[in-house]
Structure 1
Amino acid sequence: MLKNYLTIAVRNIFRNKLFSFVNILGLAFGMCSALVIFLWVNDEIQVDKFHTNINRLYRVMENQHYSDGRLFTFASTPGPMAPYIKEKYPEIEKASRLTWEVNNLFRFDDKSFYEPGRYADPDFIEMFSIPFNAGNSSTALNGKNSIVISKSMAEKYFGDEDVIGKILLMNTKTPFTVTGVFADMPKNSSLQFQYLLPFQYFFDENKSWLDQWGNNNIRTYLMLRTDATINNFSAKLKNEVKLHNEQSNVELFIQPFGDAYLYGDFENGVQAGGRIEYVRIFFIVAVFVLIIACINFMNLSTAQATKRAKEVGLRKVIGAIPHQLFRQFMGESFLTVIIAACLAVLFLIVLLPFFNEITGKALGLNLLDLRIVMIFVAIVFFTAFLAGSYPAFFISEFKPVQVLKGQLKSGNRASVFRRALVTIQFSLSIILIISTAVVFRQMQFMQNRDIGFDRNNVFYAWLDGDVANNLETVRNRLLSLPGIDGVTAASQLPIDIGNSTSNLSWEGKDPEANILFSVLAVDQDFIQTMKMEMIEGRPFDRNLVTDTANYIVNQKAAEKLGFKDEVAGKDLTLWDRKGKIIGVVKDFNFGSLHNPIEPLILRVPRNDFFCLLIRAKQNETEAAIRSAEGIWKEYAPGYPFKYSFLNQDWEEFYKAEGQRGKVFNTLAILSIFISCLGLFGLSAFSAERRTKELGIRKVLGASVPGLVQLMNKEFITLVILSAIIGCPLGWYLMSMWLENYAYHVEVGLITLIVAASVCLTIAVITVSYHSLRVASTNPAKSLRYE
């Protein structure tokens, strides 16, 4: 019996080549897209899950309360906290501080490279699963001048030699002894580094600001004991900072480290999403595309059902029951899905490298991975059941008396169902097109937005060697060289300011006021070099020595300070340094466009600069870079001249979102293609079914354009209905998505019209092919049809 069913299924596939091809191709593309997205989703969900102690690892977070009603959540914590609370609380088994990623220059013999790494406490290696290839993991970071390096870094500097005990020179002056080699961090680790240095070294070098409970600057990670009660411990830890700093507005809480990657966004102290939102979105979109492919199968299978009517009738007459017929046709659907699945795997093998390039992932179809196998099997069964269940049920319910008497009609119910499916299909496609258009426009908006200063033609370099000690000389020499239009120094990049404080006082300040201000240290030429606009007062003046004690604020800060008249000339004290506000600079974006512009204070310190920003003259960037490199070789001879462009860094901030946008584009195009495949098959069936009717109409005088219009009318009506449904839904969903950005485009009526027009145009072209072919056929041939 099984062999008989299989033989019939294969014959049916070859007998209806066009419809089988459309079904299999549509399912293959749908399954391929779903599989690649589910692989991406699986990879995102598995980030950091490889750590053995993942269920006991936590990061310490801060909720900072301010008098203007705002509450900020940060992962930064005080420098002295980790060792202190480890001793204080028995619930903590291990604790480690960890810095942000730092790029240091390392040299061994004639090999010299910048490497990304971090400073960490010795417990860090024991807390996290970092397999060692050489050295003792429990003691590797005990020495102040120890360094633990990755396997790839070891090979880069030492080849196949035994590296334990080797000396690496950091930043041309400080020797570090290699005490361990660890396996390269997996791609699915949120913490990436090529080396670890002892946190004690970093602490001693920066003790002046790091040894204070009032400063929040590094990350703190904890590994709790297995018997620890999380809620009780959190309650005890909550006010720890206030115990050491009475003026503190900080409340501590802990977040499971396993949640940190996906659930990183907080609003008003409450977890409010993060990357998990994109995981959910892409999962839903992948299901959409798969459903669109399944709809094709259901439509074409039910449309072709009348060709199997006599077979079903005869089987029922000789004793077959609906349940047996249902299994037969489900088996045929499953066979089609299996063929499509094999084709989908081939597509995936070809497309996966391109997908990895777009997303920055390293996904692979590892069939030895049980999770990946389960994902693949789940897709196959979901597709087979969804695509095949209704056609199998529909066909198995044919009445044998009607079939054998030739009284079977296609049925209004089946026709209505097909129309509903086509409408759903194109509604989903229109939603994806709207999403793609809005994401693209938002990405363009962010990259091209006027952020309050001119970031074009500006490159920067971090102050290495003796450049910082000779900053004034370097600046003057650079300004005299070809290609250079302006030079300025700052403590941070103007597009990524991370320092903030509430330690300010000013004239008329409410004693209860506690407001957070961002702070940026700049030299006197910063405003002019970055081409910022002054709203009030003046920029810093190099000829006025008093300006080293003065301040410039942005519009948002002026508003928070609450001055009702002129701001310039008012007294302001920052960190016990009293000065005057000499001007108000126009608000500029110095962080993500997801967030509104925050209040900002600009100050001129004596020696708190870390980067040099150089503006090149128009079309003379290469000359400016050569000039800067020549100066660098004089003042930092042991350092390669490493520079970056400010505009490229701004675009890099939104690289991940741009990658997601490209995936959206691909899925939208694919959904339209799959929908049109189904429409192509349905229009072919409709044209075949109405061949004789069109021949008669043509004999009676109907024109070819009129017949094409008649054939197209039904499908065009369905696409228009899809637009009526899809456009409002697309507008609503994308309006919600845009709320994640403080500065964004609007969805707009034009976007909706374009999305609907694209779908309608493609549908008309798809359907018109069959309509025109049949309408142009000689009426004599049409009337002899069947």
Structure 2
Amino acid sequence: MIKNYLLIAVRNIFRNKLFSTVNILGLAFGICSALLIFLWVNDELKYDYFHANASRLYRVMENQKYTDGRIYTFAATPGPMAPFIKEKYPEIEKATRFTWEVNNLMQVDDKTFYEMGRYVDQDFVEMFSFPFLKGNMATALKDKNSVVITEKMAKKYFGDQEPIGKVLLMNTKRSFTVTGVLKDLPRNSSIQFEYLLPFEVFWDDNTWLHEWGNNNIRTFLLLREGTDRENFAAKFKNEIGAHQEKSNVELFIQPQAEAYLYGDFENGVQSGGRIDSVKMFFVVAVFVLIIACINFMNLSTAQATKRAKEVGLRKVIGAVPSQLFRQFMGESFVTVCVSAVLALLFALLLIPIFNEITGKALTLNLLDTQLLMIFGIIIVFTAFVAGSYPALFISEFKPVQVLKGQLKSGSRAAIFRKVLVVVQFSLSIILIISTTVVFRQMNFMENRDIGFVRENVFYLWMEGDVRPKLETFRTRLLAEPGIESVTSASQIPIDIGNSTVGVEWEGKDPNEKILFSNINVDFEFIQAMKMNMKEGRPFDRSRISDTSNYIVNEKAAEKFGFKNGVADQDLTMWDRKGKIVGVVKDFNFGSLHSAVDPLILRMDPKETYCLLVRVKPGETEAGLRSTEILWKEYAPGYPFKYSFLNQNWEDFYKTEAQRGKVFNTLAILSIFISCLGLFGLSAFSAERRTKELGIRKALGASMPGLVRLMGKEFTILVLLAAGVGCPIGWYFMTQWLETYAYHVDVGYLTLIMAAVVCLVVSLVTISYHSVKVAASDPVKSLRYE
């Protein structure tokens, strides 16, 4: 029986070549896109779950409450906290401090490279599951002169030699002995590094770390088995207050396995993160798969009358609806399996491109049980969704009507097909709207005036004698070809991370706590960045008093509340009293997701570490060459490593840009699959109305009139889809745009454009069959049976 059903299924595929091809291709594209997206989703969901102690690993977070009503959430914590709380709380089994990325120059003989590493406590290597290939995990970082490196770094510097015991020279000054080699870190780890150094080194070099009021490092905890997380969190939350008077900080812990996906907080409450993208892409993948399933359902029900006599005969000889249902579901399953094989071939061809777009390293290993499970689920889901209604519809045919030739497709089936077409194009329109809005927002962010000119500016972190001899270096560089201006700062102006509440001014409420971002700059910073002053003046090298003065942005000026202007008012930050010499117009020094915060620019050239060079337009190569020549004189042994501000700004939104590219691809694919279905339906409609069109043509109907008649039905369906899809697309993209403080509007033109694109593409698709039938000889059409 099963063999017979398979033969019938294969025979029907070859008998209806056009409709079978449309079905198989539509399902193949849908399954391929779903497979790739689900692989991406699965990879995202697995981040940080490979650690053996994942269920007990937590990161410490701070909620900082301010008198202006704002709550800021940070992963930064005080330097002394980890060892202190490990001793204080028995619930903590291990604790480690963990610095932000540090790029140090590493050297072995003539091999010199900048490498990204971290300073950590000894507990780190025992808490996290980064396997040791060589060395003793229990003692690897107990010696202050020890370093643990990755397998990749070991091969880079030592080749096939034994790395344990070898010496690495850091920043041409300090030597570290290799005491451990880690297996290369998995890509699905949110924690990345090439080497680990003892935290004691960082502690000794940075005395500000010793204060409980400074937050700059991360703290990770490993709680003991059986610890009640909620009870511990309640005991732990006011720990900062025990070390600081009038503390505005409450601590809480977040599972490290959730940190990657749930990293966004708003007013102290978890508000999403990368999980939003994961959910969005999952839904979009299901959308595309459903669009492909709708094609199959539409064409299968439209072709049902061709199988009517077969169903009638089977019922007469005793077949029951459940048997027929299983038969036609089996036929759907065969079609889906053929599509799945084709989809797998497409995926194998497309996965390198998909990886390039998404920044992943996904593979299609057919021996991977997880991949096979995902693929199997997609096949079963598709077969059930695509085949269930056609199988149910066909199995319910009445044998008496069928055998008497009285069977008609029925208005109910026709209405259902129309509903499916509307749903199909509604989903396509939603995707087009999403794609258009994402593209416009990305373009807006890349080209937005952020308050200063970031083009033609590159920067370097000062090494060797560049910083001690900055004035001489700057003067000489300005005389070189291609150089327009030179300045320095403690951070790059598009990524200012320092902040403080240690700001005092006349009239300030003693109980008021407001967070001010801050950056150290030299005299030419405002002019070199081409910022605009709203009040007062930039720093002036000819005025000695400016070495203790400040410039603030508009947001900071609002917080001070001065009635007679801000310029020339007294301001004290930490222990330094000075004057506010000017107010710079607000500029974006962080992500466009957030509004501009209050900012203080502090004149302190000695505490600047980043050299910013503006080159003359069109003379970038000359400017780079001039800087490199001088760099080699002042910082011999240090590679000339630079970055452009504009490129860094684009990198901030790399994730959004990747999402936009995937959206573009899926939107185009959804329209293509929808049009495949329309192509098949229009062929069926043209075939069904051949005699009608022949009569109309014999009676004098023109070809354009017949084409319009054929296209009218589908035009109405697409317009109905626009009425459904446009409001839904507008709503969801408006919600997404609200995650940005600065954004475009969805706009009516976007909605109209999405509807017009679908309408035009659908009309072009159906016009082929419409023109073909309308142009045929009416005599042959009237003889058509």
Same fold (TM over 0.5): yes
Question: How far off its partner does 1:245 sit?
Answer: 1.0
Residue equivalent to 1:769: 768
Query: Counterparts in 2 of 1:436-475, with a 5 A limit?
Result: 436-475=435-474
Per the alignment, residue 651 of structure 1 pairs with 650
In the alignment, the residues of structure 1 paired with residue 166 and residue 753 of structure 2 have an alpha-carbon distance, to the nearest angstrom, of 64
Deviation at 1:368, TM superposition (A): 2.9
* Distance (whole Å) between structure 1 residues aligned to residue 604 and residue 340 of structure 2: 65
| Secondary structure at 2:469 match in 1 | helix
State the Cα distance separating 1:231 from its structure 2 match.
1.3
1:178-327 alignment, distance < 5 Å: 178-207=178-207, 209-327=208-326
> Is the 8 Å Cα contact of residues 488 and 605 (structure 2) preserved in structure 1?
no
Give me the whole-angstrom Cα distance separating, in 2, the residues matched to 1:538 and 1:785: 88
Deviations 1:68-108 (A, max 9, x none): 00000000000110011111111111100001111111110
SS of 1:572's equivalent in the other structure is strand
Aligned twin of 1:546: 545
The equivalences for 1:76-95 within 5 A come to 76-95=76-95
**Structure 1 segment 552-571 matched on structure 2, within 5 A:** 552-571=551-570
Could you tell me whether the CA contact under 8 Å between 1:438 and 1:734 is conserved in 2? yes
The answer to whether residue 384 in structure 2 is matched with residue 385 in structure 1 is yes
- Matches of residues 307-386 of structure 1 in structure 2 within 5 Å? 307-386=306-385
Contact residue 60 and residue 219 of structure 2 kept, 8 A: yes
- Matched AA of 1:28: A
1: CA distance, partners of 2:247 / 2:366: 54
Provide the TM-score with structure 1 as the length reference: 0.99
CA distance in 1, matches of 2:509, 2:781: 90
Number of equivalenced pairs: 785
Q: Root-mean-square deviation (CA), in Å? A: 0.7
Q: 1:28 is matched with which residue?
A: 28
Q: 1:37 maps to what in 2?
A: 37
Aligned positions of 1:552-631 closer than 5 A: 552-631=551-630
Asked if structure 1 preserves the Cα contact closer than 8 Å seen for 2:132 and 2:182, the reply is yes
| 1:135 and 2:135 aligned | yes
Deviates more, 1:605-614 or 1:586-595: 605-614
Aligned to 1:118: 118
Q: Are residues 708 and 606 of structure 1, via their aligned partners in 2, closer, same or farther at CA, if it must alter by over 3 Å? A: closer
Deviation of the 1:227 alpha carbon: 2.3
How far off its partner does 1:783 sit?
Answer: 1.5
For residues 49 and 401 of structure 2, the distance between their equivalents in structure 1, rounded to whole angstroms, comes to 60
Cα shift readout 1:412-462 (whole Å, capped 9, x = no counterpart): 000000000000000000000000000000000000000000000000000
Aligned mates of 2:533, 2:707 — CA distance in 1: 65
Find the aligned partners of 1:486 and 1:101 in 2 and give their Cα distance: 29
Q: CA separation in 2, counterparts of 1:356 and 1:754?
A: 30
Paired residues of 1:556 and 1:598 also in contact (CA < 8 A): yes
Question: 1:785, CA displacement in angstroms?
Answer: 1.6
- 2:459/2:610 contact within 8 Å kept: yes
Q: Which amino acid in the other structure matches residue 442 of structure 1?
A: Q
Counterpart residue type for residue 710 of structure 1: L
What is the letter of the counterpart of residue 353 of structure 2?
F
Tell me the alpha carbon deviations over residues 571-606 of structure 1, each in whole angstroms, 9 at most, x when there is no partner.
111002111111000000000000000000000115
Contact 2:489 2:605 in 1 (8 A): no
C-alpha distance in 2 between matches for 1:133 and 1:625: 42
Which SS does the other structure have where 1:679 is aligned?
helix
Tell me, in whole angstroms, the C-alpha distance in 1 between the residues paired with 2:370 and 2:323: 34
Answer yes or no: is 1:726 the counterpart of 2:704: no
Which residue of the partner structure matches residue 521 of structure 1? Answer: 520
* Contact 2:477 2:483 (8 Å CA) reproduced: yes
CA distance in 1, matches of 2:301, 2:501: 69
Q: 1:607 is paired with a residue of what secondary structure?
A: helix
The answer as to whether partners of 1:75 and 1:219 remain within 8 angstroms in 2 is yes
Q: CA deviation at 1:508?
A: 0.7
Q: Which amino acid aligns with 1:172?
A: T
Q: 1:614 and 1:156 mapped to 2: Cα distance?
A: 32
The equivalent of 1:398 in structure 2 is 397
Structure 2 unaligned segments of length 5 or more: list them: none
Query: What CA distance in whole angstroms lies between the structure 2 residues aligned with 1:367 and 1:511?
Result: 66
Q: Give the C-alpha shift of residue 369 in structure 1.
A: 2.7
Q: CA deviation at 1:29?
A: 0.4
Consecutive unaligned residues in structure 1, runs of 5 or more: none
In 1, Cα distance between equivalents of 2:99 and 2:544: 36
Task: Tell me the TM-score normalized by structure 2.
Answer: 0.99
Cα separation, 1, equivalents of 2:35 and 2:228: 40
Structure 1 Cα separation of the partners of residues 428 and 39 of structure 2: 22
Q: In 2, are the aligned partners of 1:504 and 1:575 still within 8 Å (CA)? A: yes
**Cα separation, 2, equivalents of 1:541 and 1:421:** 70
**How far is the alpha carbon of 1:511 from its aligned partner?**
1.6
User: SS state of the match for residue 439, structure 2?
Assistant: helix
Whether contact under 8 Å (1:214, 1:248) holds in the other structure is no
Q: What SS does structure 2 have at the residue aligned with 1:181?
A: strand
3-state SS of the aligned residue for 1:406?
coil
* 1:664-743 pair list within 5 angstroms: 664-743=663-742
Contact 1:489 1:523 in 2 (8 A): yes
SS class of match (2:178): strand
Corresponding position of 2:147: 147
Residue 349 of structure 1 and its aligned partner are, at CA, apart by 0.3
- Counterpart of 2:490 in structure 1 is 491
Q: What is the distance in 1 between the residues matched to 2:749 and 2:324?
A: 50
Shift of 1:270: 1.0
| Separation in 1, partners of 2:604, 2:246 | 26
For residue 530 of structure 1, report the CA deviation from its aligned partner. Answer: 0.2
CA contact (8 A) 2:552 2:582 kept: yes
Please identify, of 421-430 and 507-516, the stretch whose mean Cα deviation from structure 2 is larger.
Answer: 507-516
Partner Cα distance (1:104, 1:430) in 2:
50
Separation in 2 of the partners of 1:66 and 1:470?
Answer: 41
Q: Deviations over 1:603-645 (max 9, x none)?
A: 0115111100000011111111111111111111010110010
What secondary structure does 1:185 align onto? Answer: coil
Q: SS state of the match for residue 618, structure 2?
A: coil
| Cα distance in 1 for residues equivalent to 2:509 and 2:608 | 32
- Does the residue aligned with 2:429 lie in a helix, a strand or coil? helix
Residue pair 2:122, 2:139 contacting (<8 A) in 1 also? yes
Distance 2:702 2:201 in 1: 88
Deviation per residue, 1:366-414 (Å, 9 max, x gap): 2333222211111000000000000000000000111111111110000
Shift of 1:764: 0.4
Q: Secondary structure at the match of 1:566?
A: coil
1:479 corresponds in structure 2 to 478
Partner of 2:109: 109
Query: What secondary structure, in the 3-state scheme, does the structure 2 residue paired with 1:315 have?
Result: helix
Deviation (angstroms), 1:565: 2.4
What letter corresponds to residue 568 of structure 2 in structure 1? G
Distance in 2 between residues matched to 1:103 and 1:783, nearest whole Å: 81
The one-letter amino acid paired with 1:647 is N
After TM superposition, which residue ranges in structure 1, 4 or more long, deviate above 2 angstroms? 366-371
Counterpart-to-counterpart distance in 2, 1:612 and 1:334: 64
Q: Which amino acid aligns with 2:248?
A: N
418-427 or 623-632, which deviates more: 623-632
C-alpha contact 2:332 2:387 (8 A) present in aligned 1: yes
Q: CA offsets, 1:110-167, max 9 Å, x none?
A: 1111111111111100000011111111111111111111101100111110010001
Does 1:171 find its partner at 2:176? no
The aligned counterpart of 1:536 is 535
CA distance in 2, matches of 1:232, 1:501: 31
CA distance in 1, matches of 2:374, 2:751: 35
- Inter-partner Cα distance in structure 1 for 2:510 and 2:109: 59
Aligned to 1:50: 50
1-side partners of 2:133 and 2:511: how far apart? 56
- CA distance in 1 between partners of 2:108 and 2:274 (Å): 40
